[in-house]
Chain A
């Protein structure tokens, strides 16, 4: 199965700063079928990005996704208080679909 490794594990930043989150795959992700989710405690994940670079409906444009093959990035251009959460990547190009272990974005 494709193993997704996210780094860093924790990102300590201040509101207004730029966050860069990485997701590396052990094999190439087919058709760049990679999604990014945001999750807050006690809530379900929220889709941010699909197919590596497409923003989901209603997602602010400060969130952007890029990458292909085995290396993917989620950028939050200017952190807002509501953005402090855990972020996961998921590949859905090859069965079994898999998730990364998550990056926690915390307030510095």
Chain B
């Protein structure tokens, strides 16, 4: 079945970087698109950006675009979200979500907790 499996939780120091992976299975990765979203405690879901897997084209949230990079590796059907210069306010659960057909983002990863703490 269609599935996205994300990498495990991480604790990072301020100023460092984190790379979250999202491995796809059960659908055509190359014909999909992936969005990355996060939720900090008590906040609404926040869109980070998205990538069209086939072309590699990306679009990011302004205000994060200097620190974030979303990539994909079509040899392993994996998308990555790289966030640098981490701050305490980046502490959140990060999700990847795939659009696998003509509809919306129908497959979601289980979420990855990223904690930024001194």
Contacts and interface: CB of A to CB of B under 8 A. Distances in A.
A96 B109 contact: no
B76 interface: no
Q: Report the contact-size class of chain A (Cβ under 8 Å from the partner).
A: 20 to 34
State the majority secondary structure of interface residues on B: loop
Q: Report the contact-size class of chain B (Cβ under 8 Å from the partner).
A: 20 to 34
Interface stretch (B11-19, B44-52, B83-91): B44-52
B110 A44 contact: yes
B103 interface: yes
State the majority secondary structure of interface residues on A: loop
Interface of B: 35, 37, 44-47, 50, 59, 61-62, 95, 97, 101, 103-106, 108-111
Interface of A: 35, 44-47, 49-51, 54, 56-57, 88, 90, 92, 95-102
Top 9 A-B pairs ranked by shortest CB distance? A50-B104, A44-B108, A99-B45, A97-B47, A96-B61, A35-B104, A101-B44, A47-B106, A50-B103
